[in-house]
Every structure is written in structure tokens, then in C-alpha cells.
Structure 1
Amino acid sequence: MMARTLLQQGFDHQRENVLDSDEGGSGFLKDFTRRDQVFSFLKPPYNPKVDIKNDMLLYVEGVSKSFDGFKAINDLNLYIKKGELRCIIGPNGAGKTTMMDIITGKTRPDVGEVWLGQRLDLLKMDEADIANAGVGRKFQKPTVFEALTVWENLELAMAGNKGTWQMFRAVLSGEQKCDIEQVLELIGLKTLSKMIAGKLSHGQKQWLEIGMLLMQKPTLLLVDEPVAGMTHQEMDRTAELLLSLAGSHSVMVVEHDMDFVRSIASTVTVLHQGHVLAEGTMQAIQDDARVREVYLGQ
């Protein structure tokens, strides 16, 4: 069992309502014109159960998982800081998908520990509870509601009570409408809010799904191969979007496209045979002889 001390809560958890005063309104307008970061009222809400010490949000320690004798994850240790954008790379079969399955509760490891902050033991929670705790996952293939409009997709994904009766009676508040509008601005689909999602391009569907996750205000985003099948222009826009989320959210990106990884990565983790082979800057990873041998084929 890991030795942990509980984080002493020494900061103010209250958030200002930007629409309550002239000063707040000015703050809102200032946020609205910022292009380098996510809007303040889309940041994850404070969760008292997610105590964060030394800015470390996710702990994956000593995790192993076997399937019919094949060890997909082998004594994996991985740590993600609060607000960090981390890229995970590795050859097919390296354990990247299994790792995300374990973090999100889809798969249970044979041994090891997975914690969100200091108090939330993710291995004792089911998938729904993990999602509600602030862990969002975007799969490689976009899963949007193609028969609904872009706006309706975001509305359906909004954090809150999803009971059938509540949804049937729901009338969006001004704040909720504002949240949707700002997500539309962030993902670059503001002019397409009334378009049926099924008519969007592949890249636009990927952005919409990221937007749907943002409506749930997650603390940690797991993004699986976000630029697969995208044009170069769409890849550039996706890089801009993910970089804007870092700081307000912790973002883990699993990707095979090395040009895209270079464009966004500050820290890269290389998985091989279910274990961390190397970790560091993109330049350090490229210079690592072990990585060139097992991943780059050199």
C-alpha cells in the first residue's frame, strides 16, 4: 500500500459568478476573447474527494494485467500531474488501450493501484462513478449522436442529472446556454451549431466529441488517437484545441502520428510490452536507442 498523507485544504473553493456584477461581466468578456486557454467557467469544478498533493492527479502504480497468459500490462507505473498534457506512444500491443481501460474502470488489473488524487481509489469504483468523479474518455472513433444537431449533442452531454424525467422537463438556464456557446467557440463549431452531426466532417465530429466531454467538466481527459484520418489543417486545429485545454485539465493523448506528437508534447511516455520503456521530452525520446529499436525500427 502506498504511503500517502492527506492534502490539507488551504485554498478558497469558491468561484465567482462572472455575470453577477460589472466587474464579473468584464472578467467574462476578457475570458471570451482569450484564445490561448479554456474559458474559466468550463474548468472542472472543485471536487473535495480529489485531493491533489504536489500537483499529482493520477497515480498508476505496480499495475499488471494478463489475458489468457499474455501480459498486456506489466508492472506499469505512470504519474500524471494536474494540468499536464502527456503523450503516450508505443507500438501496437504495447498496452496503451488496456491502460486506458483500467483507468476508466472497463478492465480490472490483476495487481496494482490506480488513484485519482489522494483519496479516490479508482479500482473500487465502477465506470459510471469514475466518469462522475471527473475522468472523461474519447475513443478513436467519434461517438456522436448523428441524428441530432451539434447544439443538441452538447446539451445532451451536459453535466448534471440525466434522468429521463429531468431531461424531459429541462429548460436550459442562461448559464447553461452560455456554457454550450463557449464550448462551440472553443471547438470551432459555433457557426455549425444547428447542423445535424451526421453531416460533419470526420475532424469536426472528433472536435464535437471532445466538446461533449468538456460539457461534463472533467478533471482528466483520455484521448485516443484524435487525429487518425484527419487532414493536415484539421490536425493543426486539433493540436491548438488540446493545447488550450492543458492547464485547466489534465490531458492524456495516445497517438501514433509522430508529427502531431511533436506539435503538442512536452512530456512523452513510451510503452513497450505493457511497461514504461522511456519517458521525457520528445527530443530525449528520439535520441533514446531503446526507443529507436523497438518503436522506430532503427
Structure 2
Amino acid sequence: MSALDNTRELFRRDQVWPFLAPAQSRVNVDNQMILYVEDLNLSFDGFKALNNLNLYINDGELRCLIGANGAGKTTLMDVITGKTQCDSGTVYFGQNHNLLNKDEAEIAQLGIGRKFQKPTVFEEQTVFDNLELSLKTDKRVLPTLFSRLTPTQIDRIDEVLKTIGLAEHRFMLAGALSHGQKQWLEIGMLLAADPRLLLIDEPVAGMTAQETERTAELLTSLAGERTVIVVEHDMEFVRSIARTVTVLHQGSVLAEGTMDQIQSNKDVIEVYLGEEAVGEKGAEQGKGERA
């Protein structure tokens, strides 16, 4: 083995030096609950973005969050991931990690991954390279410079490629993928970092019907081993994946239950689904008048 190989072995990606390893402890889900959000409040210039919001997510479940624009969905995700500080309240990951005392990097290291609505892949890199860059490894200069993928890490990337349905596109530039495929790749990039909790924002926006169906299958397959929270406006998509739906309104939880329960809830019909129904009715009346 050459001197360069010896150096690479020393700095290989799965090599963890004890004095450099971050202090971590496992996520305590003894009560089968992975996320506790209690009495959360946040105001922007007098606007109450979050208003005594309470939310509890079971370990391994797939939960959908719906609500009109301004209901607090994105703001809630911002607080959970450390992007925004709340005014008051508590947010715990498991029973033992107070997320409000941690920054974005520390929260990601704990195992919380977030996907934004617009795909943010590295378009000049291949699909495989995007996943390699997303592995949970030491990202400092020397370890990155001298490291090489281990067989375990290659197997991990292959597993993710299979999960997201892009195994045949592993050497394609990410920029050449379709919109839906880019969304799947970004979900794969989250999976490569091996998160415990996934926050997915509007994953099917702009997708074809076939891509939407495939995305539903993908997200459903992830629940169980991981916990998945999906923010989405497409009600048919929500119905296809959700066992439990939480409706946010003016920064608070308005209702929670199955999709059938939500769609028959009088408060939800009045403040959210009712608005859509009124809009559709008005559109139909307009068509009749023009005819």
C-alpha cells in the first residue's frame, strides 16, 4: 500500500476520531413519540405566525400538514429546524433533545432533514455524486481531501438510488433530470444522511400525474423506519398518503384526524376547504354566465 493510500485510509469517510466526534445521544422515543411541539408562539411585527401551537408526532408515522397560505406551516418547519427562533414554547425531538437550544447544524446532526419545495440539487454533478456529497461524513478539508468511499457507503448510495427509482440514472447529470426526478433526488440526498425525521415541503408541486403517484409510493415506503411530515396543498395527494392530517389555521391547530374526518369537519370546511368550494362554485357560475 502506497503512502497516499495509507493517508487515505487514515482519513477515510467512515473513520471517526473520538476527540473530533460530536457529542450525541440517542433519540429517546420510549413513549412512541418523536416530536413534541407545545405552546409555540412567534410574532413578526405584530403578526401572530404561530399562536399557542401544539403538535405531537408519533415515531414512524407519516403526517400531513395542510392549511391556507399564512397558516403557519413553513414557520413551524423553520422553528423545528432551527432556522427561526420562536418567542415562547417548547420543541423536543424525542424526550431528550430540546431543539430550541440548538442551531441548524446541530439539529441536522441529530437526524432531522428538511426538503424545501424547490429542488436544490447540484445540477453540474451526477446523481451519484449528489448522493455522495450528502452522506453523513466529516466535511472538513483534510478528511474530505484524502477520503474515498468505503464499500459500506457505496452500498448505502446504491440502496438510496433503488429507493428513489434513479438507479439507472446514477451517472446522469442532475441538471438533465426531469422536475419530478430532481424532487426524488433531493429526497434521496436527505436519505443519504440517514435522518430519523423528514420534513417535506410540497413534494408534488409541478409534477405529472405519474410522478405524483410515484412520489406517493416513495413517501409511504419511508414511513415506519423513519418519521415523515409532509406539507402539501394537493388534497388528492394528501388523501393518497395520509393516515393522520393536521390542519393549521392562523398559527394554531384547527383540526386533526383522518382525511375523511377532516373533510367533514365544520370548522375546516368553513375556514379552509370551504374557501376552495366557494371558489370552485364561483368559477362554475362564471362559466355558465359566459356560456
- For 2:117 and 2:156, the matched residues in 1 are separated by 25
Shifted more, 161-170 versus 273-282: the winner is 161-170
- For 2:188 and 2:207, the matched residues in 1 are separated by 17
- For 2:82 and 2:163, the matched residues in 1 are separated by 29
- Secondary structure of 2:261's counterpart equals helix
Could you list the structure 1 runs, at least 4 aligned residues long, displaced by more than 3 angstroms after superposition: none
- Secondary structure of 1:239's counterpart equals helix
Q: Does 1:230 align with 2:207?
A: yes
Corresponding position of 2:272? 295
Q: Does 1:206 align with 2:183?
A: yes
- Secondary structure of 2:248's counterpart equals strand
| Matching residue within 34, 42, 55 for 1:78 | 55
Corresponding position of 2:143? 166
- For 1:147 and 1:160, the matched residues in 2 are separated by 21
- For 1:244 and 1:186, the matched residues in 2 are separated by 9
- For 1:152 and 1:257, the matched residues in 2 are separated by 32
Corresponding position of 1:185? 162
| Matching residue within 124, 129, 145 for 2:101 | 124
- For 1:168 and 1:152, the matched residues in 2 are separated by 15
Shift in Å, 1:165: 1.8
Shift in Å, 1:283: 0.2
Shift in Å, 1:285: 0.1
Q: Does the CA contact (< 8 Å) of 1:136 and 1:213 recur in 2?
A: yes
Q: Does 1:153 align with 2:141?
A: no
Shift in Å, 1:264: 0.1
Shift in Å, 1:160: 1.4
Larger Rg belongs to: 2
Corresponding position of 1:136? 113
Deviations 1:167-206 (A, max 9, x none): 2212111111000011000000000000000010000000
Shift in Å, 1:164: 2.1
Corresponding position of 2:34? 57
Q: Does the CA contact (< 8 Å) of 1:49 and 1:120 recur in 2?
A: no
- For 1:270 and 1:92, the matched residues in 2 are separated by 12
- For 1:61 and 1:49, the matched residues in 2 are separated by 22
Shift in Å, 1:117: 0.6
Q: Does the CA contact (< 8 Å) of 1:135 and 1:220 recur in 2?
A: yes
Q: Does the CA contact (< 8 Å) of 1:147 and 1:196 recur in 2?
A: yes
- For 2:159 and 2:176, the matched residues in 1 are separated by 22
Q: Does 1:215 align with 2:192?
A: yes
- Secondary structure of 2:89's counterpart equals strand
Deviations 1:255-277 (A, max 9, x none): 00000000000000000000000
Shift in Å, 1:48: 3.5
1:84 alignment partner AA = E
Structure 2 unaligned regions, length at least 5: 1-23, 278-291
- For 2:132 and 2:144, the matched residues in 1 are separated by 10
2:256 alignment partner AA = E
- For 2:25 and 2:145, the matched residues in 1 are separated by 31
- For 1:84 and 1:285, the matched residues in 2 are separated by 18
Q: Name the Cα RMSD after superposition.
A: 0.8
Corresponding position of 1:20? none
- Secondary structure of 2:60's counterpart equals coil
| Matching residue within 218, 234, 252 for 2:229 | 252
- For 1:166 and 1:207, the matched residues in 2 are separated by 28
Q: Does the CA contact (< 8 Å) of 1:144 and 1:153 recur in 2?
A: yes
Higher helix proportion? 2
Compute the TM-score of the two structures, normalised by the length of structure 1. Answer: 0.83
Give the aligned length: 252
Deviations 1:134-167 (A, max 9, x none): 0000000000000000000000000111112212
Corresponding position of 2:242? 265
Structure 1 unaligned regions, length at least 5: 1-46
Shifted more, 118-127 versus 157-166: the winner is 157-166
